Amino acid sequence: MLALRALAQLATWPDLRQAVPSCGLGQAVRSAQGEIAHFHSDRDVDLRLTDRAIRRFAKDLRGSGVIRIVPGSPWVTLRLDAASDVDLLLTLVSVALQAQQAWPDPVGRVETGCNDQRGAGFVRADRSGF
């Protein structure tokens, strides 16, 4: 129920509202600038950080042990296995909101789905890597 807990918390944020995800699977939250997160299961959440934010934080994201980065995607996937992973998600949603405002997508750029539609499923043997 970690994803539901995170979704409930995010639904109270004034800059976010619940929405139907563009990929059509699960639930989403979005800001005025676009989609922020897709909740695809009780444990898997795709978060749109923007390409620039991912490049800026890539080393830290990879080192977290709970995040999958898909090359070429503005989305990262978080695997929620513990309450601390929910805390990380909430922090990264804040980063995502700031990234959307600081580095908005070019006008006319079509929002691309999410990582749920890209490649194989999330696999992690332990918290040390992917």
Q: Given this model, what pLDDT does residue 130 score?
A: 26
The total of other beta-carbon atoms located within 10 Å of residue 32's CB is 10
pLDDT digits (tens, 9 = 90+) for 66-116: 888 888 888 899 999 999 999 999 999 999 998 887 766 555 445 556 776
Q: CA 39, CA 16: separation in Å to the nearest integer? A: 14
Q: Given this model, what pLDDT does residue 112 score?
A: 56
Domains contained in the chain, number? 1
Q: Does any domain span residue 29?
A: yes
The residue segments making up the domain with residue 41 are: 2-104
Q: Does any domain span residue 128?
A: no
Q: CA 122, CA 44: separation in Å to the nearest integer? A: 8
* CATH number of 80's domain: 3.90.1150
pLDDT digits (tens, 9 = 90+) for 1-46: 899 999 999 999 999 999 988 888 889 999 988 889 999 888 999 9
Q: Given this model, what pLDDT does residue 103 score?
A: 65
Q: CA 25, CA 23: separation in Å to the nearest integer? A: 6
Q: Does any domain span residue 30?
A: yes
Q: Does any domain span residue 49?
A: yes
